[in-house]
Amino acid sequence: MLNYFLSMLMLVFAIASIIAGIFTAYFGSGKSRAVGAVLIIIGLIVGVLFLWFAGFLGFMGTAPLEFKGVVVDGIVAVVGAVIGALIALGIFLLAIMKA
């Protein structure tokens, strides 16, 4: 259970941090660009840690945590939740437009 939480937390944090950093570095000015660069670096570090824990970076040695079987299950669960939410949103919008 904790492995699901930690693996998805690290994956989503890494992706969101990198995306926020790219937007901040591109659209910001001055100190904002520096903050964007730091966000990108932090996202990359967490992303590498996630890949190491997931077993994709075996050359780095044995990871203190192992997400091997958890990653696929977690991603499938997140994708299923997103698809379910999109279907519900589509039905809601269809019902509103027809009413």
Closest to 13 (Cα-Cα) out of 41, 35, 46: 46
Structure confidence by residue, pLDDT tens digits, 31-41: 888 998 999 99
pLDDT at residue 41, as a whole number: 96
pLDDT at residue 95, as a whole number: 86
Is 10 in contact with 50 (CB distance < 8 Å)?
A: yes
What is the residue extent of each domain of the chain?
2-98
Structure confidence by residue, pLDDT tens digits, 61-95: 777 777 777 777 777 877 888 898 889 988 888 88
